Amino acid sequence: MKKKTAFRLMVVVAVVSGLALVLARAGTIPEWLYLAVLVAGFPLFVVFLGLWWMAREGDADIPFMGY
């Protein structure tokens, strides 16, 4: 995945989570829905943040299979 794509997806997840927070505070959406958005959003945010931040994307390699 390109770093620019990872960054865009990370921002989308952050905005959706922030929006859910605002809507839950305003009483527009129920609390459980806000928490459900965070349950789905937090892992995606962590991984996209890492994919944006990572040094580089390496080539696939075969793991060490033992002697």
Partner 1 sequence: MIPYLLFATAFGLLLLGIHRKMIARIQRRPGPPVWQEILHALKFSFKSTWVPATASEVLFVSVVLIAIGIWTAAFFVLVTGGSLLIIFAIYMLHKIVEHGFGLSSGSPYGKFGGVRSVISAASEIPLFVSVSAVAIFTGSLQISDIIAYQAESGPLFFAIPLAALALYLVILSKFPSSPFAIVESKEIVSGYKTEHFGVWRAGLETCNGLKTYVLLLTFLSVFVGAIPFIGVLLAMILIVVSLAFVCALCPMLSPFDSVTIQTIITGIMLIYVLYLGAFG
Residues making contact with partner 1 (CB under 8 A): 17, 21, 31, 34-35, 38-40, 42-44, 46-47, 49-51, 53-66
Any idea which residue has 């959406």 for tokens? 29
Min separation Cβ 51 and partner 1, Å: 5
Which residue lies nearer to partner 1 by CB, 28 or 43? 43
Closest CA to 41 of 24, 63, 19, 61: 19
d(CA 3, CA 6): 5
Min separation Cβ 17 and partner 1, Å: 7
